[in-house]
Structure 1
Amino acid sequence: MAKNEARRNALADAGITVLAREGSRGFTHRAIDAEAGVPLGTTSNYFRSREKLIAGLVERIGIRLSPTPEDLAARASDAPTRELFADYVRDIVRRLTTHRDVTLALFELRLEVARRPDLAAAMREWQHQALDGDVAFNEAAGLPGGRREITLFHYAIDGLVFDRLTSPIDPGTSTDDIVDDLVAGLLR
């Protein structure tokens, strides 16, 4: 396998773009080569199979959607309240909706996994790690809510973001207001 990490990341980013734009049917090694502007066969040197390519994209999506250390540090000194929890959730939704291609690619990967269960392992592992990380972060920060509430927020945020990126049910309602209502409803 090729070792140039910067090129591997650039190819994964090109794969994210192709997947978001074309869906899984247009998601090929050749399409990624073309999007990245590299010679044919380059993507297959870094990701030998579709399964490895999907695993690489899942990893890259996780990196691109993670909060920055600056975002986390800015809130670290705040008291652990429901309002701080809501601020974290609003930040998650902001990252998911701002990085539209990344989030659409993630939804496409989830649909691909539904069609091809043999690819589910990478997605399932990533989802469980993300949930476990969110629960651990919430507990360490002393924020309200436990594993059950964090799981419910994952479900709700996935639905909210899908709605906002596709055809919103109520486009006139502020996304922040929806998040605040979710927090109030789930953290009684």
Structure 2
Amino acid sequence: MAKNPERRTALLNAAIEVLAAEGARGLTFRAVDSRAGVPTGTSSNYFTDRDQLLSQVGDQVFVRFVPDQETFDAALRPEPDRRLVVELMHDLVRRMTEERTTYLALLELRLEATRRPELRDRLTQVLRADLAHNIGFHLAAGLPGDADTVRLLYFALTGLLMDHFTVPGLLADLDLDALVETVVTRIVPES
């Protein structure tokens, strides 16, 4: 098994691109090698099988989604009120829009997880950890609401982003920023 971490990361990022463009059925070692611009057979030196590749792609998706430390630090500076939550959710939607390919790859992984129990288990672990981290951040920052508030924001924004990326015509006559603000003001209690 090859040990070059930079190459592994490049292969995982290429796999994200393949998933977003071609779906799970198009995710082959050959397609990943081609997208990464490496010799045929390189991916098979880094991943024992397709299941391992899918599982590690699930981890890489969340590496790409993590905001920089400056975003975390900035979130703790202002008064922790509903307005700050609106700003944080706008930032989240902006980051997801910038990482549209990664978000689409995550949707493909979710669908593939319905057919692959090992992937489902790994994706469940990763998603639970991410949600727990978000709940912990929200509570530690003193933002209004509780763990259920964060869960409701998660479910609402996940659905909103899924429609925004997969069937944008559904929301074409609506302002995405206004929708985000409506979601937050309906879910997050006033301070």
Same fold (TM over 0.5): yes
Category of TM-score, reference length = shorter chain? over 0.9
Is it true that 1:77 corresponds to 2:82 in the alignment? no
Indicate conservation of the 8 Å contact 1:97/1:164, yes or no.
no
Deviations 1:52-87 (A, max 9, x none): 111211111101111111222223211100011111
CA distance in 2, matches of 1:145, 1:8: 40
Letter in 1 for 2:185: A
Give the C-alpha shift of residue 48 in structure 1.
1.1
Instruction: Name 2:14's counterpart in structure 1.
Output: 14
Task: Give the length in aligned residue pairs.
Answer: 188
Large movers: runs of 4+ above 3 Å: none
Instruction: Name 2:172's counterpart in structure 1.
Output: 171
- The equivalences for 1:90-105 within 5 A come to 90-105=90-105
Q: Which moved more, 1:106-115 or 1:159-168?
A: 159-168
Extract unaligned runs of 5+ from structure 1.
Answer: none
Is it true that 1:154 corresponds to 2:165 in the alignment? no
Give the C-alpha shift of residue 103 in structure 1.
0.5
Letter in 1 for 2:76: A
CA distance in 2, matches of 1:61, 1:117: 19
Deviations 1:20-46 (A, max 9, x none): 000011111111011111111111111
Instruction: Name 1:184's counterpart in structure 2.
Output: 185
Instruction: Name 1:134's counterpart in structure 2.
Output: 134
Is it true that 1:115 corresponds to 2:115 in the alignment? yes
Give the C-alpha shift of residue 119 in structure 1.
1.9
Q: Name the TM-score, length of structure 2 as normaliser.
A: 0.94
Identity %: 40
CA distance in 2, matches of 1:45, 1:148: 43
Indicate conservation of the 8 Å contact 2:89/2:180, yes or no.
yes
- The equivalences for 1:44-63 within 5 A come to 44-63=44-63
